[in-house]
């Protein structure tokens, strides 16, 4: 069973087509990275995948079920960090992770065990009893990752997860993503850090103007140059579409 499939996805905001026939898949055990300029449609696609926004056309299926019809048995196997990391400001780091794990179906004892494990794994011990509102941006990101992954999801959706992370945090994130894929989870990750993407991804898909416009080979050097060449070539071949999007954004 495919961990994730999104096909023919269209999402419009007024005159802007944020998604324009987007199609993506993620297989179990695969790390699939999507890259693109700001406004390319990455976050909109991820929101559609987890049910935070509805598609105007097309379909998103997670773990074999249409997201629109997914029940707790499916949603409990999904973890995500999109836009802002999860965390109730008035709850402590530990209580936030316990709460997130409980929301995803773990019982009280298992949730408490998971919280302790992830606090250690993401080196959050000094802040375990601190309220989330008092965390630095980087530690908030670590907390959001712990909340997304504490229940060991079968599909992990991560939107710019390296945001605000220091180099130590990036290494911890890398370990989490690789471990998730090793145990068989599908991972969809977006990032502007192409060197990090190149290290961990099995597949790299380029999204531009709400569409898939090509792919890059993981492990290659100079991915930024290859990426910009691909985007410029698409823009040159679709000048009218580019002009329309620029007018809408203006």
Q: What pTM value is reported for the model? A: 0.93
C-beta of residue 172 within 8 angstroms of C-beta of residue 121: yes
C-beta of residue 62 within 8 angstroms of C-beta of residue 49: yes
What residue spans define the domains of the chain? 4-77+153-249, 87-151
How do residues 98-157 score in pLDDT, each as one tens digit? Answer: 999 999 999 999 999 999 999 999 999 999 999 999 999 999 999 999 999 999 999 999
3-state secondary structure of 1: coil
How do residues 175-209 score in pLDDT, each as one tens digit? Answer: 999 999 999 999 999 999 899 999 999 999 999 99
Q: Report d(CA 24, CA 215) in Å as an integer.
A: 12
CA dihedral 34, 166, 164, 90 (to 10 degrees): 120
- Reported CATH class of domain 4-77+153-249: alpha beta
3-state secondary structure of 201: coil
Bridge partner list, 10 = 20, 57
């Amino acid at each position: 069973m495919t961990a994730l499939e999104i096909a023919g996805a269209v999402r419009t905001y007024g005159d802007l087509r944020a998604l324009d026939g987007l199609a993506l898949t993620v297989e179990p055990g695969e790390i699939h990275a999507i890259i693109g300029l700001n406004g390319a449609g990455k976050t909109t696609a991820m929101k559609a995948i987890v049910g935070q926004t509805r598609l105007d056309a097309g379909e998103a299926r997670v773990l074999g079920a249409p997201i629109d019809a997914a029940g707790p048995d499916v949603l409990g196997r999904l973890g995500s960090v999109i836009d802002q990391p999860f965390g109730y400001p008035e709850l402590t780091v530990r209580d936030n992770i316990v709460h997130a794990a409980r929301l995803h179906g773990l019982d009280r004892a298992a949730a408490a065990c998971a919280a302790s494990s992830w606090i250690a794994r993401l080196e959050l011990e000094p802040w375990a009893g601190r309220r989330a509102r008092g965390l630095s941006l980087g530690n908030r990101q670590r907390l959001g990752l712990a909340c997304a992954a504490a229940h060991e999801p079968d599909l992990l959706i991560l939107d710019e997860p390296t945001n605000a992370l220091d180099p130590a945090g990036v290494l911890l994130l890398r370990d989490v993503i690789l471990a998730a894929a090793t145990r068989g989870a599908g991972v969809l990750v977006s990032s502007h850090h192409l060197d990090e993407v190149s290290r961990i991804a099995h597949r790299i898909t380029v999204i531009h103007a709400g569409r898939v416009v090509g792919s890059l080979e993981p492990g290659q050097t100079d991915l930024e140059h290859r990426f910009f060449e691909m985007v410029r070539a698409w823009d040159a071949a679709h000048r009218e579409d580019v002009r329309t999007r620029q007018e809408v954004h203006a």
